[in-house]
């Protein structure tokens, strides 16, 4: 039987990269996307191949919906040429940017960038790729703990993450006839490049965040990549239209 195939946006760094590695270790083939980090994407491909997996890396800017038709064609060609398939199993809408700006200060340009990355992109990319997702496949949207708890600086970002959680439920209802499960994950603060890498690199921020987490430390990429591989496993096939909080118990 052919391996399952996961398409992960923003696989070049951070959580997307880690998800790709965990899925590859479980025998899932990977189509990863990158926007600017082509060298990192190539490094991930080699790392996956070194553990006996298969991967292809494609360029994509999720804020530019004009690219989506050509990207979808590229996916079709890649599926055929690299994996001898016409469809893939899992779509993970992960790519995103953190822009910290207080409500009083956020600009229309920052607002538009956040909407494009975190809502418009995932919606229209998924819509475009739907014919290429297998019946019985899965869609996993990446939300954030900020959809549940509140700290200054992330009002618009958090509102968009809440929106993608609601969107996931409606998608689950409408795609149920194709047996496609749609869920979201809401990671707590994880040490990546996100938001300038503050959670990872700024000791004061790291300590402040850690004291708000029941398990006493900030999350690491492996905390999320492993969870995603588990959520996309066959055993989790009855989970649908829900959001998984994966935060170590942040701000309970
Ligand atoms: P990183 O900054 O480490 O990585 C971001 C990834 O997204 C990179 O691969 C980057 O690609 C890609 N990307 C960024 N903008 C675009 C774009 N316009 N089009 C396509 N790809 C893009 O962030 P994380 O891995 O931490 O974040 C991943 C997701 O997790 C995001 O949706 C974020 O909102 C969410 N999240 C993160 C948390 C955290 O604390 N880290 C907590 C909760 C949610 P490239 O480098 O090639 O440009």
Of residues 228, 192, 181, 186, the one with CA closest to residue 25: 228
- Binned at pLDDT 50, 70 and 90, residue 122 comes out as very high
Residue 157 known to be catalytic: yes
CA distance 229 to 231: 6
> What's the pLDDT score for residue 43?
98
Hey, what domains does the chain have and what are their CATH numbers?
5-246 (3.40.50.720)
H helices present in the chain, as ranges: 14-25, 38-50, 68-83, 108-115, 121-129, 155-175, 198-201, 203-210, 221-231
CA distance 207 to 215: 13
Residue identifier of the C-alpha nearest atom 31 of ligand 1: 96
Contact 129, 75 (CB under 8 A): yes
The answer to whether residue 207 scores a pLDDT higher than 90 is yes
Q: Which two tokens stand for residue 104?
A: 């009083």
pTM, 2 dp? 0.99
Q: What percent of the chain has pLDDT over 90?
A: 99
pLDDT digits (tens, 9 = 90+) for 47-99: 999 999 999 999 999 999 999 999 999 999 999 999 999 999 999 999 999 99
The answer to whether residue 1 scores a pLDDT higher than 90 is no
Q: What percent of the chain has pLDDT over 70?
A: 100
In DSSP terms, 175 is beta-bridged to none
For ligand 1, say whether the CB of 14 is within 6 Å of any of its atoms.
Answer: yes
Residue 144 known to be catalytic: yes
Contact 28, 58 (CB under 8 A): no
For ligand 1, say whether the CB of 57 is within 6 Å of any of its atoms.
Answer: no
CA 5 to chain centre: 15
């Amino acid at each position: 039987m052919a391996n399952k195939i996961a398409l992960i946006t923003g696989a070049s760094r951070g959580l997307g990269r880690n998800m790709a590695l965990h899925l590859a270790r479980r025998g899932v083939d990977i189509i990863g996307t990158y926007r600017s980090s082509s060298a990192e994407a190539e490094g991930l491909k080699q790392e996956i191949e070194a553990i006996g997996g298969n991967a292809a890396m494609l360029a994509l800017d999720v804020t530019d919906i004009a690219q989506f038709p050509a990207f979808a064609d590229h996916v079709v060609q890649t599926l055929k040429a690299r994996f001898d398939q016409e469809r893939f199993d899992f779509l993970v809408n992960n790519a995103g940017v953190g822009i910290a700006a207080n409500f009083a200060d956020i600009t229309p340009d920052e607002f538009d960038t956040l909407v494009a990355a975190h809502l418009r992109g995932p919606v229209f990319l998924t819509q475009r790729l739907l014919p290429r997702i297998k019946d019985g496949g899965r869609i996993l949207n990446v939300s954030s703990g900020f959809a549940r708890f509140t700290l200054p600086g992330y009002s618009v970002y958090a509102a968009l993450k809440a929106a993608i959680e609601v969107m996931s439920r409606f998608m689950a209802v409408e795609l149920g006839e194709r047996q496609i499960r749609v869920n979201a994950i809401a990671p707590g603060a994880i040490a990546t490049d996100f938001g300038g890498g503050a959670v990872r690199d700024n000791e004061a921020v790291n300590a402040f965040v850690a004291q708000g987490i029941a398990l006493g430390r900030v999350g690491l990429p492996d905390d999320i990549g492993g969870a995603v591989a588990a959520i996309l496993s066959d055993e989790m096939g009855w989970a649908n239209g829900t959001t998984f909080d994966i935060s170590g118990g942040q701000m309970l």
